Amino acid sequence: MAGLCLTVLFVIVTTSYSLEVSDKETNLPSIESRFPYSLSMLTVNPCCYYPCQHKGVCVRFEMDKYLCDCTRTGYYGTNCTIPEWWTKFREFLRPSPAFYHYILTRFKWFWDIINSTFIRDVIVRLVLTVRSNLIPSPPTYNSAYGYISWEAYSNVSYFTRVLPPVPDDCPTPMGTKGKMELPDASLLVETFLKREKFIPDPQGTNLLFAFFAQHFTHQFFKTYGRMGRGFIKGFGHGVDLSHIYGDSLERQHMLRLFTDGKLKYQIINGDIYPPTVVEAPVFMIYPDNVPKEKQFAVGQEVFGLLPGLMMYATLWLREHNRVCDILKKEHPTWDDEQLFQTTRLILIGETIKIVIEDYVQHLSGYYLKLKFDPELLFGVQFQYRNRIAVEFNQLYHWHPLIPEKFQILEDEYSHSRFLYNTSILLDYGVEALVESFTKQIAGKIGGGKNHHPGLLKVAAGVIEESRKLRLQPFNEYRKRFGLKAYKSFKDLTGEEIMSAQLEELYGDIDALEFYLGLLLEKSNPNSIFGESMVEIGAPFSLKGLMGNPICSPEYWKPSTFGGETGFNIVKTATIQKLVCLNVKQCPFVAFHVPDDVLPKLKKSDEL
């Protein structure tokens, strides 16, 4: 048996390395003479050219040689560029992302028919598997390890990453292309990202969506400042609801009531709100002038920042305690711990359901009705694990969503009056906030020039982080996710002015940085952002959602959720129900502005 295994292994190893170690081309003396590296003794690390295509792995040999490992890429040759015959066939049949985006966002009548047939399941399964397969699982690199290693695999304090860092000894910051120094980050955000006039999202995304995005993603995007960029705080790496329950057992225990599985709460004007830090002594970030009696205590320490985040924290707190009551009625023998733990799993399920069927559904603009049904993946190969990637964190900085002012009922709030204002939630209540945030349109994310001036430093921080972590160029990520590299800045932005400025600052489209590329790419027609944000973001997102253990065959059954009642709460969750089961009067709830607001906006834009 062992002998057979070894033979098989040997065959695999020898066949996959049937590629010559190629001498590096000699037609590149300019960089070496311009920039002699004493360390590498006048030779450029050949992996700095990103020679390996189609997910091939570059390994350096001797000083100036490299080898592309093309194993299971479907390609062969020095740089993994020659397709095997079936790859040719598959590539021939594969529609371009632009093509299927076009189909999925048009022909509503067609998708209405598909919706009620089994074909819907087939397509949703295809979307889930094709997207998830782009994410390496188990995870591969991190910011300290540009090669497969046990440390990178096992040390979950790191964000993972899909592409290894730019090698340290490359001649330019982005590899071999572009200038010796990258443009100043604050100049970049001033030039390309600063808002001149608020640009509303053509898809009608509202602030209820914007705050949901921020609230939801802050359970897994928690950069651990103290350990440096590239490290994550908390070990959930996905939808663990640590933003509700805290990212440590200690914090969780502070927030729990230890009766009937419930979380601590306070009642104000007859409504349930999170406790204060006096009652639940956990660390929360608030300015010094906010007294402890006014500081809310919730799972995520940053949620005091915006009333919209605390509004969601309140809704989920109410939902948790509501579900506890339901479970307690069916299971009078269960102790506090079991009620708490089972409720947490139900809320994880509700979250994933809402994110796929309400949130991603809205964002995609697809007429295909998405479906959260883990059973769709039971027949295919799928790993129920997830590791949050640096690239996903970078990509998810969607601050252009934030408007100039916040409109709550008849009142207008500037950023400075809104931030850290603890009385807004209590004075207006959850209903009024939901209603107001649903009606107010959010900003368009893609296309540039839509950051509120106060948020430019956040964007500059993203760019600076990507430099510290040595993220590869935007075009390398395009290729990694099955897209064509852009040939010029004009090709990227689809216009003249910004592309000329970019050309001057970067010198080469292949040296453009990841985040700026995502934000400045021309948008899809009538869409919130461009192709790359969708094609790179969706795989991370869907893998993170479906890779949750509750979606695995072992967990996805009624008993996990305390029986059919709990299972049904998961299977029927919507954003509408999350709000309306937890407030007294049900407002209009959606992730887009009401239809009568959108046409008005479009008209006023045309005028």
Chain-centroid distance of CA 508 in Å reads 27
Question: What DSSP state is assigned to residue 200?
Answer: B
For residue 183, how many other CB atoms are within 10 A of its CB? 19
Choices 379-387, 417-425, 502-510, 599-607; region in contact with ligand NAG by CB under 6 A: 417-425
CB of 169 to ligand NAG, least distance (A): 16
Query: Given 215, 218, 237, 243, which residue is catalytic?
Result: 218
CB of 424 to ligand NAG, least distance (A): 4
Choices 111-119, 180-188, 384-392, 393-401; region in contact with ligand NAG by CB under 6 A: 111-119
85 versus 109: smaller Cβ distance to ligand NAG:
109
- For residue 390, give both structure tokens: 């640096």
List C-alpha distances in Å: 328 to 92, 202, 251, 465. 57, 45, 24, 47
156 versus 326: smaller Cβ distance to ligand NAG:
156
Q: Which residues are annotated as a binding site for heme b?
A: 399
Q: Does 79 bind ligand NAG (CB under 6 A)?
A: yes
Choices 78-86, 204-212, 477-485, 515-523; region in contact with ligand NAG by CB under 6 A: 78-86
Active site residue 320: no
Among 96, 155, 526, 572, binds ligand NAG (CB under 6 A): 155
CB of 346 to ligand NAG, least distance (A): 22
Show the 3-state SS of 23-87: ECCCCCHHHHHHCCCCCCCCCCCHHHHCCCCCCCEEEEECCCEEEEECCCCCEECCCCCEECHHH
Count of alpha carbons within 13 angstroms of residue 33, beta-carbon side? 5
Map residues 37-66 to x or -, x wherever contact with ligand NAG holds by CB under 6 A.
------------x-x---------------
Among 427, 464, 491, 508, binds ligand NAG (CB under 6 A): 427
Asked if 56 and 45 touch (Cβ cutoff 8 Å), the reply is: no
- For residue 491, give both structure tokens: 């090709």
155 versus 488: smaller Cβ distance to ligand NAG:
155
116 versus 269: smaller Cβ distance to ligand NAG:
116
Q: Which residues in the 367-396 window bind ligand NAG by CB under 6 A?
A: 369
CB-based contacts of 582: which residues, under 8 Å, 6+ apart? 315, 318, 319, 322, 430
Q: Does 572 bind ligand NAG (CB under 6 A)?
A: no
138 cis-preceded (ω within 30 degrees of 0): yes
Q: Does 170 bind ligand NAG (CB under 6 A)?
A: no
CA distance 40 to 47: 13
Residue appearing with tokens 């009624």: 558
Query: Given 100, 396, 413, 420, which residue is catalytic?
Result: 396
Q: Does 337 bind ligand NAG (CB under 6 A)?
A: no
Choices 109-117, 167-175, 186-194, 572-580; region in contact with ligand NAG by CB under 6 A: 109-117
CB-based contacts of 507: which residues, under 8 Å, 6+ apart? 177, 178, 179
Q: Does 157 bind ligand NAG (CB under 6 A)?
A: yes
Active site residue 147: no
Q: Which residues are annotated as a binding site?
A: 131, 399
474: nearest Cα among 529, 507, 540, 521? 521
CB of 69 to ligand NAG, least distance (A): 14
Among 30, 381, 423, 585, binds ligand NAG (CB under 6 A): 423
CB of 46 to ligand NAG, least distance (A): 7
Q: Which residues are annotated as a binding site for substrate?
A: 131
Choices 86-94, 121-129, 167-175, 423-431; region in contact with ligand NAG by CB under 6 A: 423-431
Question: What DSSP state is assigned to residue 400?
Answer: G
3-state secondary structure of 207: helix
Q: Does 424 bind ligand NAG (CB under 6 A)?
A: yes
* Long-range contact pairs involving 491-496 (C-beta distance under 8 Å, separation at least 24): 492/517, 492/520, 492/521, 492/522, 493/448, 493/520, 493/521, 493/522, 494/522, 495/522
Q: Name the residues that contact ligand NAG, by CB under 6 A.
A: 25, 49, 51, 78-79, 81, 112, 115-116, 155, 157, 369, 417, 421, 423-424, 427
Cite the active site residues: 218, 396
